[in-house]
Structure 1
Amino acid sequence: MEVNIEVYPFGIFAFHNDNLILKEEFKSGGEAASFILEIQKNLEKFIEKVREKVGEDIVIKRVKEDYSPQTFERAVELGVFEGKGKFREFIHSFFTEFAKLKIKGRYREDKIIIHLVNGIDELNRIINLLFERVVELYGLYFPEAVHKIQNPEKVVRIIAQDPSREAVASKIKIPTESMGFELPKEDLEILKLYARATVNLLNLKNTLTNRLKNLMSKIAPNLSKVATPMLGARLIASAGSLENLTKLPSSTIQVLGAEKALFRHLRKGAKPPKHGYLISHPLLRDAKKRERGKIARSLASKIAIAAKIDFFSREDRSKELLKDLEERIRRIREKK
């Protein structure tokens, strides 16, 4: 039996020689939008219902889809609507709900990764400024403590609890005598507030970093292990999405983050960059300068493969990729 199927915003209909076999009318614009958004899957289900109803094999001769507002006359012929007012109201609801579902469907977790990376970068800039401010100000009051601790984060965390010389000296085990200025109580309180604000930002940064690592392990396990979570996330952010990263050749991935140096090379003939963000990878960071170009190429190649695996299958093949990468780097280092 040959069957023609017609799909409209108000329903789906099956005909044999212009005789209606089966119909499903949509009760609301939201129901219609949900159905049409996944038309392929829902069409297969409807065809199965038609096959069950006629009780024999069917051949789908034609599938007509028309979602335009000019389908009012057909809606009247099929007995779905009588007045144009209700039809227009339904069509308006359909297009509104369809647009909402399309927008909602564009949500992808790699967009959250991009926001997390950018947020961590912004926090780093703010935290570094606050480190400088707090350490410099506290160095006027108790320079011996700053010299003894040296680590700005540790200085800030200690000051956030109690900035007085007595409290800090007892924690780091140094004498309370100091060549620093005497600061009034009000200024020490301001210093304490500065330090507490910095500690809060450090805690927020740690929270974002942990969330980023978990997300990367979930949606890009291969990229996370081959490139490290932070570097992998930065490459996704630079490309715009994981999908965009899969479309980039390894030669482009190699110089992501070095755009200024690349354009300087193209415009002024300066030396071409060997790497961009990849310099933060432990294999490159610890490599000899003359080896970095070759290692960067090998690393970029494996990152390109890892990104494709993550996007298209999410199968964890990181051990195989890392083994190949380590073997390649071993050969590079053995060459004189």
Structure 2
Amino acid sequence: MIRLTTNILGVFALKNGRIIERILFPMDVEKIADRLEVIKDGVSEEEAAIIEKLKRSGVREVYVIDPERFPSTLGIKFLKDSEIIDPSYLAEEIGIGREEFSELISKVNLELAKRRLKGIGRDQILIQAINSIDELDESINKLVKRLREWYSLNFPELDYVIKNNETYAKAVSSVDKLDKGLRNRINSLRRESTGIEFSERDYEVVTALSDSILCLYSTRREIESYIDHLMSDIAPNLSTLAGPMLGARLIALAGGLERLSFLPASTIQVLGAESAFFRFLRTGKKPPKHGVIFQLPEIRSSPKRMRGKVARTFAAKVAIAARADHFNGKFVGDKLRRDFLRKIEKLK
């Protein structure tokens, strides 16, 4: 069984888990991004070259993740491969260390994100960035769950000691990344652990997974910082009133700053709660009091009886801030924030 895989390192053909052919991409972030864009819906030159080599050696069937991408004119039958080949394993096989590989992933991801956003309206750039944060969070949560289940076979006690997911990934990667007190506690528990024995190879693979998770956390922080910068440029009033992340989510849910600026406060109040709102229309049950604005600490921490009033007050201020930002009005973010805080004090 011959398998073909392409990742940020290059193109690899494997047989029984061993690399039999490979063409590496240049170690240049922009050139790697160029090739990854080609393989979204086409075949790269490197893939075509390896396929030609395989064909000349008598190979007639190759397993790939996305067979529909490869035209029949290449002269080989492409079958669906249900198993993804871990790129960190291939990196190790060609002598690239974990840290170097993780850094390369982060840089290439950032370059691809910049390309996707180039040439789009500034608020549309913001929407892509905030959606990327959500997708990163989803990926991180899934991978951390897998890491905890996997590593708990060897060291189950660690799952109870460390609740923070990023700290857990650091502990699996290397306890040296933790503070001294936690490091000593982990080392003490390790000596009495009831988990099963892991081989050196087992540790290498699970550590590679933890490093990939840490890389995603690093990318998330970069994008969050980028959103802060974008919001101060695109919507300074909304950013000051709601905070850059919540402000960006409101713009994304509305479909853009212009659309947000034309929405009434009553609609802004329930943005992100569409499912609950349609359930209210269908069944007649209580309408939602708030949508994504529930993330605002002042709303979230309010007593239940007050949340609806606080949410309405905040939504009204958001409507003013969005209009000021869209129509390039003067900066009133600080005043809107002070007025909002003063009003919720009166509601108490």
Fold conserved between structures, TM > 0.5: yes
Match of 1:130 among 143, 147, 160: 143
Change beyond 3 A, Cα 1:109–1:187: same
TM-superposed deviation, 1:270: 1.3
Residues 1:275 and 2:290 aligned together: yes
Q: Residue 172 of structure 2 contacts residue 207 of structure 2 at CA under 8 Å; is this kept in 1?
A: yes
Corresponding residue of 1:323:
338
Which digits, 9 at most, give the CA deviation of each residue in 1:169-201, with x for residues without a partner? 547452422111112222211110110110111
Corresponding residue of 1:247:
262
Corresponding residue of 1:299:
314
Match of 1:147 among 160, 167, 181: 160
Residues 1:265 and 2:280 aligned together: yes
TM-score with structure 1 setting the length: 0.64
Q: Residue 279 of structure 2 contacts residue 285 of structure 2 at CA under 8 Å; is this kept in 1?
A: yes
Corresponding residue of 1:160:
173
Q: CA RMSD of the aligned region, Å?
A: 2.2
Match of 1:290 among 305, 311, 321: 305
SS at match of 2:218: helix
Match of 2:243 among 196, 214, 228: 228
Match of 2:126 among 98, 113, 134: 113
Which digits, 9 at most, give the CA deviation of each residue in 1:44-90, with x for residues without a partner? xxxxxxxxxxxxxxxxxxxxxxxxxxxxxxxxxxxxxxxxxxxxxxx
Cα distance in structure 2, aligned partners of 1:264 and 1:150? 35
TM alignment of 1:141-220, pairs within 5 A: 141-161=154-174, 170=184, 172=186, 174-175=188-189, 176-220=191-235
Percent identity reads 42
TM-superposed deviation, 1:146: 2.5
TM-superposed deviation, 1:149: 2.0
Corresponding residue of 1:65:
none
Change beyond 3 A, Cα 1:190–1:295: same
Cα distance in structure 2, aligned partners of 1:181 and 1:315? 64
Amino acid at match of 1:225: T
Gap regions ≥5 residues in structure 1: 1-104
Cα distance in structure 1, aligned partners of 2:172 and 2:269? 42
SS at match of 1:270: coil
Cα distance in structure 1, aligned partners of 2:120 and 2:153? 50
Cα distance in structure 1, aligned partners of 2:168 and 2:250? 33
Amino acid at match of 1:206: R
* Higher mean displacement: 251-260 or 139-148: 139-148
SS at match of 1:150: coil
SS at match of 2:153: helix
TM-superposed deviation, 1:233: 0.3
Change beyond 3 A, Cα 1:122–1:106: closer
Change beyond 3 A, Cα 1:296–1:127: same
Give 1 or 2 for the bigger CA radius of gyration. 1
Which digits, 9 at most, give the CA deviation of each residue in 1:82-130, with x for residues without a partner? xxxxxxxxxxxxxxxxxxxxxxx98421111000011110000000001
Cα distance in structure 2, aligned partners of 1:145 and 1:240? 43
Q: Residue 120 of structure 1 contacts residue 205 of structure 1 at CA under 8 Å; is this kept in 2?
A: yes
Cα distance in structure 1, aligned partners of 2:223 and 2:137? 12
Gap regions ≥5 residues in structure 2: 1-117
Q: Residue 220 of structure 1 contacts residue 310 of structure 1 at CA under 8 Å; is this kept in 2?
A: yes
Which digits, 9 at most, give the CA deviation of each residue in 1:247-291, with x for residues without a partner? 100000000000011011111111100000011001111111111
Amino acid at match of 1:126: S
Corresponding residue of 2:30:
none
Cα distance in structure 2, aligned partners of 1:274 and 1:240? 21
Q: Residue 175 of structure 2 contacts residue 183 of structure 2 at CA under 8 Å; is this kept in 1?
A: no
Cα distance in structure 2, aligned partners of 1:241 and 1:122? 19
> Aligned pair count?
227
Cα distance in structure 1, aligned partners of 2:241 and 2:263? 17
Cα distance in structure 1, aligned partners of 2:344 and 2:187? 46
Cα distance in structure 2, aligned partners of 1:310 and 1:266? 33
